[in-house]
Amino acid sequence: MSMKLSNLFGIDIYDTQAGYKGKIYDIIINLEKGRLETITTEPLKVKTINDAKKILNEKSIPYEKVISVKDIVIVSNKPVMKKVDDEPQQARQPSTIGNTGIKRYNYGRR
């Protein structure tokens, strides 16, 4: 299902425990990665940088927490974990075991 971004403004936000979080006021988009990053419940038109930081820290919700969007937005209460695909992938080079010529691949956790 798709939805126009402009239709999201003003939609109520609730958590999974039916707690009211506010209304969508602003949406921050990461143009380099092509995805939504943050939803704010207050306007970002402020006079100082400290006010903007306060809104981003206290009055915003990372878009990673969004579970569902339709007539309302439902967000998770769980802490946001960093996604694996945000980290650069490392090339996995084979190494040989002794003089046997057997190649071993090292697979590490990301």
CATH ID of 5-79, from 1.10.101.10, 2.40.10.10, 2.30.30.240, 2.40.50.140: 2.30.30.240
Give the global pTM: 0.65
pLDDT at 66: 92
Run means of pLDDT, 10 residues per run, the chain, 110 residues: 84 94 93 91 87 90 92 86 54 52 54
- Rounded Cα gap, residues 89 and 91, in angstroms: 7
pLDDT at 44: 84
Domain ranges of the chain: 5-79
Radius of gyration of the chain (CA): 21
pLDDT at 81: 65
Cβ(76)–Cβ(68) below 8 Å = no
pLDDT at 61: 93
